[in-house]
Amino acid sequence: MKINLMKSTIVLGVLLGVSACTDLELEETDSIFREDTGEGFSGVGDVSSALVNNYNNLRGQLDTQENLYALQEVSSDEMLVPTRGTDWGDNGLWRTLHQHTWDANHQFVLNTWNNNNRNVFNLSEIIAPESNANPQQLAEAKFLRAFSMYWIMDLYGQVPFREVDEGPSVNPRVMQRSEAFDFILQDLTEAMPNLPSTGPGPDAKFASKAAAHYLLAKLYINKHIYLGTGSAATEDMNQVINHVDAIAAEGFGLQSGFFELFTPAVDSETIFFTETGVGSRMWNGLHYFQTTPDNSGGGWNGFSTLAEFYDLFEGDDDNNHPGANQEERRGYVPFEGTSPTTSEGYFAGGKDEDGDGFVDGSDIGLGFLFGQQYNLDGSETEDRGGNPLFFTKEMPGLLGNSESSGIRVLKYHPSNGAFAGHMILFRYADAHLMKAEAVMRGGSADASALEMVNELRELRQASPLGSLTDQDMLDERGRELYNEMWRRQDLIRFGQFNTAWEFKEAKGEFVNLFPIPSVALTSNPNLVQNEGY
Amino acid sequence: MKHGLLKIGLFLSAIFCFGFTQAQETVTGTVTDGEMPLPGVNIFVKGTSNGTVTDFDGNYSLSNVPTDGVLVFSFVGFAQQEIPVNGRTTINATMAEDASALSEVVVIGYGNVQKRDATGAVATVSAEDFNRGVVASPEELIQGRTAGLQVTTTSGEPGAGVNIRIRGTTSVRGGNDPLFVVDGVPLSGTNVAAGGSNAGFGDSSPKNPLNFLNPQDIESMSVLKDASATAIYGSRGANGVVIITTKSGRGTASRIDYSTNLGVATPANRYDLLGREEWLEAYGAIGGDVNAVDEGADTDWQDEITRTAFTQEHNLSYSNSYQQGNYRVSLGYSDLMGIVENSEMERLSGRLNINHRLFDDKLNLTLQTGISRVNDKRAPISNNSGFKGDLLGAAYRANPTLPANPDPAPEDFTGQVIPTSLLKFTEDETETDRFILNASAEYDIMENLSAKANVGYDKAESYRGFAISGDIQGIESAVPGNGRSQINEIESTNTLFEFTVNYDKDFENSKFDALVGYSYQEFERRGTDVGGWGFQDMNMGAMINDLQNSREAIENSIQGSYQQYGFDENGLFVNRLFPEIATDRPGAPSGINVAALAGDTFYTVDELQSFFGRLNYSIAEKYLFTATLRADGSTRFGGNNKYGFFPSGAFAWQMAEEDFIPDTFSTLKLRLGYGVTGNQEIPYNLYTSRERFGGVGVGDNGIVNIPGTGQVTFRNEDLQWETTSQTNIGLDFGFMQDRLSGSLDVYYKETTDLLFQTFSAQPAAQDFVWENLDANVVNKGIEFSLDYDLFNDEDFYWNLGFNISYNDNMVEDFDGSVQTGEINGQGLTNAYAQLLAGGQPLFSYYLREFGGFDENGQTIYPNGDVQTFTGKSALPTTNLGISTRVEYKNWDLSTFLTGQFGFYVYNNTENAFFTAGALNSGSNVTRNVVGNGEAANNAPDVSTRFLEKGDFLRLQNATLGYNFDINEESFLKSLRLSLTGQNLFLITDYSGLDPEVNTDKSLNGIPTAGIEYTTYPRATTVTLGLNVSF
């Protein structure tokens, strides 16, 4: 009996022990495991789903006032984020952007580097032959990769590249600007035949022939800057013109009604957009007491523009209320809200969700919010201290600002929803101006640069120019494209990015490139810090 | 002389035993402790396996006892006795309680040892030494009770998370909490309660995962500190091990215990905010228009959101021992209201522990099982709220002239967040059910050989419903008018199988015992997170119901497996991973009554397989040797590094037994130990290229974007264990029969191959990659503890206990630098306060040097507007515990002080809310802001201005008790009344509410310490307790 029991205990124990021994291999419960062997790469799990993911990543990366948007806009002469007492100090990130005193540890410099490089790797995986993407998928992935790589080249001047089968122990090789330029050019060229001709409409959120032509035009118009060749080559300018003409051939063109372009409605100017909420393009400048029913918390009272930039627009100097002779693109600050039954003007026929008899948010101005702000009922808006909310042109400096210093800029409008998901990335007016500039820089087209600029100005209800200088061209781009992430690049192309402007001293040309983030240098010894940092 | 006689006697009886045919008879008797019969006492005939135990009246009967034999009586907690039979047939024994501390049993991994024989640094705290009063979770029971153990409750919230550091912080990124083993079941290191983000208010800290255990069910907690003790737990031992043993029925005759605690808690401290008139005056003085901000009322917002909280706790248990075993069954209920409105923790628990012996006691069956339900209600308090603050931040900054009405008419609405409306319009409730079981069978195969099989099962199911009503006004994001709700579910299952074999052998002058074992543990974790937007009925209960019904309608309609789904104005989509990646757009079922919702699931399984062994060898009871080895295989690591080996060795020398040590020493023991342990607390499967769908949620525009698939890790096949090696030298000493006793330990711990989430070299699939960092974290320290019975008379007993530990932490050989310690608040986006770098301790502050204000009220930075190392760290260097207990006749008084020293706290609350600029923007501030020389437009950037010394000494608890005299005929066995005060005073220079704090301010994947931001305030609690036994 005893011995039997003993035996059975041992047997049981051994059995349990042996049967419980495991090879510790995980099963796919939570995720798909790629069947990689060693350093090999077996292709992405599903190409179309991976592509969706990349469009989503792009959207997520732009759904903020930080990173790429901040690097391109807040570093320029059209925007600044003043520190207002306890507000917007944010560890100095905004001040250093404005003053061009950023360093390799700047958070946005790092985030932008990471975001775009990560996109490049994910897209390279789709592009790799192992993934078996169909021709259109391949073309879309190449366009998207070119888009992200374009920003890396533009901002940092160096583009690292990792092959899909290279693991974390491999230090990616680094392309200098000219090599990266060719790489992007090749991606776009290869993509072109298999990209769809979408034309204006809701599908403009996907890669298309028109979007690829647009990016090619951007490459060529900046090529002499990227390659450091001094001045633009005629054949490059003709490339710009050809690509812009190709966009027009896809059905895109200029359209009147400037602020209507920045709504979710279909228009003929939007070449490429993303369904990112535009909240971070609106609320960051609006005051706390500028609210809509779906955002009763109001704005974040930060972003402003510079007086000099505001002065580029036509109109009376002292105010921007209706009747100040302003051109359309300067917008206006209404004296009161608009009734939903009104049949003309921007707010005509808008939503009144809270039923107060006014279109939601119709007391908030368009374009440049300067001077006294008003409530829906026509009363003066007050600041938190009970003083009239009067946005001033003048500011004491980057520090020491009050709640009301600085003119606010609003291109998208909260009356279309506090967080409407429609952000424009490529717009035909930009292509049109690129074509004009290409002609100005020696390209040949069916119209002169001045004619093209005036064509746009006429549409925007601005008086025509009599002649066209470089400065006029830069200014015109500023008036048309403010807040659309092109200002830094334009200033560099016109040689003005490192010059002095309000609250900023002139800097060396090295600031035309951002530093390689310090953690990137640590993680990849093939990278060399840009000169000047 | 006596000994000599006894020896001769034993010798003679041995000769008789072997030399003659023995006369045998049956011996009976009763065993008592002097007053009461003792059930469950082990009795055996010396030198044989013939034995029995006393029944529940303390009686025993043992047959086949040689008339010249010796009976050995043994019972845990009592001194072993040997009584020669001398031909008697009735032998009554009186067991004496074992006063000597060194004969205490110490629970170690996979077994017990007499403290005398322990070679490692192990401290056991048993129930009588636990902290008293309102205790939500087990760790609080031993806070400050033993040297080298730092217990920091992260806030004053009922059931708040607790950080435990045994001998410093070893890991940069991996988990730093010790391994908890409850009745032999090692718990998983992950959180089991559903929690997470509070739409719009940031994230809240997880609650303490040990809340499921009723502290009243715990018999002892054993803290394994050095590597020679923890190496038996191998890969999970690097942060120390805490072994929790629950109460059994052993040694109790049929007994019912009932205890209750009734407590009252009030906030221990509050900010010195301005009152209505003072605030208006200050606001006017800084240049504001007083009339514009005066809303007419006089509201004390701190009062509005806090309350006097009541606590009740009831525990009922029945325990019994019988001849072949014992059992204990208990029921507990506790309801801990928090001092902040809307916060509460309720626990219902039951436990059944059974021990039963079969086959002449050769087979010992044990079952330890507990079941619990914890209901948590939480107020909207977060770790990282932005410029408008969470409930606490909003209350600190709220205009004191604003009426407390949570729901003002639209025209009275000022755009500020009204704290009371956060209370009124949010709801956050979590229910967590947990079942834990350990069943074991131990069989004595031969006299010296036993085998044990052990099965453990630990299952937790947690459900959280969160809602923020669309009726709320004044918050950002698209909540007003729409409402948001969340449901989070987690199901965690931890299964254990263990098999061990024990062999022991006594030789003439030495003893040997060995243990070998195999262990397999599986951790399964699955859950669903659902978020909804756009509700019809803005009642929060209805919102959560609507979301639950809507998700059920969708989940029931989906055929096959899925990872996630979403529903909005564009209809329903389903994202599947298996059998292949697909996005389906089936028609939406009926029954969805929210405008948009999105659900996402996760399901991970991890395994751990281990082989381990231990050898103990002692010579002449003076020289003790222990060696252990554990091999662990884990699914957390892949490729070539699946298995890790963790050896240890220890030696102890009982010097007091040596002739050259003066008799003054009743104990003198030297301990040396060295061991290697590991850490595997990293996320699931980081070594395979894995894909799943990206996160899903309802956007502020009410749209659910359909996610695509992407890589979730940048796979690293070379990932391996983080390794900690530790050397320990210890000395235990005692004088006067150990009336004065203590220990001194010195250790050196070095952690290498640090598991670390580092920035990938781009381009990469992920921004971060997990690596074994080629750097070291060194912790070295000294621990000292002393225990002295100043008086030990029948009527008067006075004990003094003292422990102190010092730890020095340093990161070495690290070239990089990584920002951590996120600072939040108005104008503080992207700010941080700490930097990880070589040559600095972990959690070193990296700040601008503050030099006061200039004549314009702007901050002066003498060293420039740049952040630099301050030479100060958030880690305490010194931990202190002082306890004293006085017993006089029926009265007893015990008090306990705890302190932490040598660390700094970053006051993020002050940085975000209490500055001149905050006052200028119409917020309330603390009194010291008025006239502090700061200009209204000064930017309060992160600087040493907000860094403060955190040193504190707290009267953690004081208990006065009275034990009634019970008449022997009474149906009562004991009756005790007690009054306990907790957190009665706090001595500190820290200007915030409490320096013992750890708001989770992780950044770049690095945890933080020492930062305080809108932390749930701590309470002062007074509790009346009643304990009665029948």
- List, for residues B438-477, the tens digit of each pLDDT value: 999 999 998 899 999 999 999 999 999 999 999 888 776 7
Q: Is the pLDDT of residue B730 over 60?
A: yes
Q: Check pLDDT > 80 for residue A282.
A: yes
Residue pairs between chains A and B whose CB atoms are closer than 8 Å: 326
Q: Which one of B359, B709, B846, B909 makes the best mutation probe of the A interface by having the most chain A beta carbons within 10 Å?
A: B709
> According to the model, what pLDDT value does residue A1 have?
41
pLDDT of residue B528: 95
In three-state secondary structure terms, B504 is: strand
The 10s digit of each residue's pLDDT in B784-809 is: 999 999 998 888 999 999 999 999 99
As a whole number of angstroms, the distance between CA B647 and CA B645 comes to 6
Q: Tell me the average pLDDT across B674-688.
A: 89
Are residues A6 and B445, on separate chains, in Cβ contact within 8 Å? yes
pLDDT over 70 (residue B1): no
Can you tell me the mean pLDDT for B917-932?
A: 91
Could you report the per-residue pLDDT of B392-422, keeping only the tens digit for each?
Answer: 999 999 999 999 998 887 667 666 788 999 9
- From chain B, pick out residues whose CB is under 8 angstroms from the CB of A384: 293, 921-922
Selection from B924, B983, B943, B747 nearest residue B275 by Cα: B924
With a cut of 80, say whether residue B72 has pLDDT above it: yes
Distance CA B286, CA B281 (A): 9
Q: How many CB atoms lie within 10 A of CB A508?
A: 10
**Per-residue pLDDT averaged across B108-137, rounded?**
81
Distances (CA, A) of B756 to A302, A523, B410, B1002: 36, 14, 51, 14
Q: What is the mean pLDDT of residues B288-296?
A: 86
Tokens describing residue B887 = 């017993």
Taking the C-alpha atoms of residue B593 and residue B575, their distance in angstroms, rounded to an integer, is: 21
- Once rounded to an integer, what is the mean pLDDT over residues B897-909? 95
B151: pLDDT confidence band, cut at 50, 70 and 90? Answer: confident
The pLDDT, as a whole number, for residue A8 is 53
Q: What is the pLDDT of residue A21?
A: 67
pLDDT score for A37: 54
Q: Report how far residue A253's alpha carbon sits from residue A431's, in angstroms, rounded to the nearest whole number.
A: 9
Average pLDDT over residues B578-583: 93
Whether A15 has its CB under 8 Å from any CB of chain B: the answer is no
**Least confidently predicted of A84-98, A217-231, A240-254:** A84-98
Quick one: three-class SS letters along B754-803? EEEEEECCCCCCCCEEEEEECCEEEEEEEEEEEEEEEEECCCEEEEEEEE
The complex's ipTM? 0.89
Best of A19, A24, A66 to disrupt the B interface by mutation (most B CBs within 10 Å)?
Answer: A24
Distance CA B456, CA B983 (A): 37
DSSP A497-519: TTS-BTTB----GGGGSPPPPHH
Query: In angstroms, how far apart are the furthest CA atoms of chain A?
Result: 115
- 3-state secondary structure (DSSP) of residue B228: helix
Note the pLDDT of residue B727.
95
**Window A:149-178, CB contacts with B under 8 Å:** 160-162, 167-172
> What pLDDT score does B45 carry?
86
Q: Check whether A3 has a pLDDT greater than 70.
A: no
Question: What are φ and ψ of residue A473, in 5° steps?
Answer: -65, -45
Positive/negative CA dihedral, A165, A171, A176, A177 = positive
The whole-number pLDDT of residue B100 equals 45
> Is B749:B716 a contact under the CB 8 Å cutoff?
no
pLDDT > 70: what percent of chain B? Answer: 95
The Cα B220–Cα B205 span in angstroms is: 28
Name the more confident of A133 and B25: A133
Asked if the bond preceding B158 is cis, omega within 30° of 0, the reply is no
Q: How far apart are CA B271 and CA A416, in angstroms?
A: 43
Asked if B705 lies within 8 A of A30 by C-beta distance, the reply is no
End-to-end, the C-alpha distance of chain A in Å comes to 85
Assign B155 a pLDDT band (cuts: 50, 70, 90).
Answer: confident
Q: What is the mean pLDDT of residues B713-728?
A: 90
Q: What is the pLDDT of residue B518?
A: 94
Determine whether the interchain pair B603/A29 forms a contact, defined as Cβ–Cβ distance below 8 Å: yes
User: Terminal CA-to-CA distance of chain B, rounded, Å?
Assistant: 46
Decide which of B927 and A36 is more confident.
B927
Strand B162-166 to strand B179-182: parallel, antiparallel, or no bridges (unpaired)? unpaired
Which DSSP helix (H) or strand (E) runs through A153? helix A135-156
Q: Do A90 and B714 touch (CB under 8 A)?
A: no
Handedness of CA A388, A393, A396, A401 (dihedral sign): positive
Handedness of CA B194, B200, B203, B207 (dihedral sign): negative
Rg, Å, chain A Cα set: 27
Nearest to A386 among B293, B478, B688 (CB): B293
Helix (H, G, I), strand (E, B) or coil at A70: helix
Amino acid B191: pLDDT = 74
What is the C-alpha to C-alpha distance for residues B714 and B687, in angstroms, rounded to an integer? 8
The partner residues of B782 in beta bridges, in order of sequence, read B746, B806
Taking the C-alpha atoms of residue A70 and residue A514, their distance in angstroms, rounded to an integer, is 12
Given a cut of 50, whether residue B13 has pLDDT beyond it is: no
Token look-up 């760790």 returns: B139
**pLDDT at A496 (0 to 100):** 97
Q: Which residues on A lie below 8 Å from B816 (Cβ)?
A: 519, 522
Residues 6+ apart with CB under 8 A from A116: A61, A68, A148, A149, A151, A152
Q: What is the pLDDT of residue A10?
A: 52
**Over 50: is that where the pLDDT of B661 sits?**
yes
φ and ψ at A135, to 5 degrees? -55, -40
What is the C-alpha separation between B946 and B993, in angstroms, rounded? 14
How far B553 CA lies from chain A's nearest CA (Å)? 23
How sure is the predictor about B201, in pLDDT bands with cuts at 50, 70 and 90? low
Run of H or E residues at B929:
none
Q: CB A167 to CB B717 under 8 A?
A: yes
Determine, for residues A86 and B917 on separate chains, whether the beta-carbon distance falls below 8 Å. Answer: yes
Decide if B769 contacts B760 (C-beta within 8 A). Answer: yes
pLDDT for position B316? 96
pLDDT at B600 over 50: yes
Say whether B758 and A30 touch across the interface (CB within 8 A).
Answer: no
CB contact set of A469 (below 8 Å; sequence gap of 6+): none
Nearest residue to B602 (alpha-carbon basis) of B526, B543, B674? B526
- Rounded CA-CA distance B419/B392 in Å is 8
Give ∠ CA B227-B232-B236 in degrees, rounded to 5. Answer: 75
Mean pLDDT in residue range A40-47: 89
Count CB-CB contacts under 10 A for residue A4.
Answer: 8
* Distance to chain A for B475, nearest Cα, Å: 4
For B1015, phi then psi, to 5°, come to -85, 140
Distance CA B982, CA B131 (A): 9
Q: Is B324 left (phi over 0), alpha (psi -120 to 50) or beta?
A: alpha
- pLDDT band, very low/low/confident/very high, at B153 (cuts 50, 70, 90): confident
> Across chain A, what does the average pLDDT equal?
92
Query: pLDDT (tens digit, 9 = 90+) per residue, B765-790?
Result: 999 999 898 899 999 999 999 999 99
Per-residue confidence band for A353, with pLDDT thresholds at 50, 70 and 90: confident
Q: Is it the case that residue B4 has pLDDT exceeding 90? A: no
A264 at interface of B, judged by CB pairs closer than 8 A: no
Render pLDDT for B510-550 as a digit per residue (tens, 0 to 9): 999 999 999 999 999 999 999 999 999 999 999 999 999 99
CA A78, CA A368: separation in Å to the nearest integer?
Answer: 12
Which of B45 and A197 is assigned the larger pLDDT? Answer: A197
